[in-house]
Structure 1
């Protein structure tokens, strides 16, 4: 675990890493709605929480947690205390890391709330 955290500390947070958590949530959201539509249309009944959907949800959550851990490591980069008014490279890195961490938390909750109807509902009506 420590080796993984050291590796995460070396990675850099950029605008590309900022869009990973919401993109993963969007793909999971699309997958869950397509799964529900196809299972109700083709099978004619609500398929009970299949293994493929559970695996897709777990993968989405793992990717979001990984990006959040990387962002958390980067947000702990030493630098000037707040407020960050200078606009240095370290301040920008910490801002992007903090934003990514917040988006990862929001996306984690969104994936869980997207998966709940698939788990809880039992009818196609």
Structure 2
């Protein structure tokens, strides 16, 4: 089962679009966070004790980033030529984009956590 999933992930087509998924999710979560805070303060005047909608949005963003990172992790481990990579083959490009996506997924994961952290500490809208 695990080998079949790994082979399925390796067969996915990788492009620059896959590279921008984690930062795009981070940016969408950032926008969602500010909109949630503004609407919550405008309607209620304070933050909710347990912001269910915000927690669901944060968990969803983290899951999408984790999925992109997991796919990139499998793809960057694709066997290929040994360094130095003097000729750009398809496998070399795949591994480069996958490694870049993996690094961006890690950065985006930390960014989403930092964006969500103030909700835990803030209780007032002043």
TM-score range, shorter chain: over 0.9
Q: In the alignment, is the contact (CA less than 8 A) between 1:49 and 1:118 conserved in 2?
A: no
* TM-score in terms of structure 2 length: 0.91
Partner of 2:64: 63
Q: In the alignment, is the contact (CA less than 8 A) between 2:45 and 2:124 conserved in 1?
A: no
Partner of 1:7: 8
* TM-score in terms of structure 1 length: 0.92
Partner of 2:100: 99
Partner of 1:46: 47
Partner of 1:82: 83
In structure 2, list runs of 5 or more residues that go unmatched. Answer: none
Aligned-residue Cα RMSD (Å) equals 1.4
Distance 1:14 1:49 in 2: 39
Distance 1:17 1:73 in 2: 14
- Aligned residue-pair number: 125
What per-residue deviation string (whole Å, max 9, x for no partner) do you get for residues 76-112 of structure 1?
1111123322111111111000000000000000000
CA-CA distance at 1:122 after TM superposition: 1.1
CA-CA distance at 1:46 after TM superposition: 1.9
In structure 1, list runs of 5 or more residues that go unmatched. Answer: none
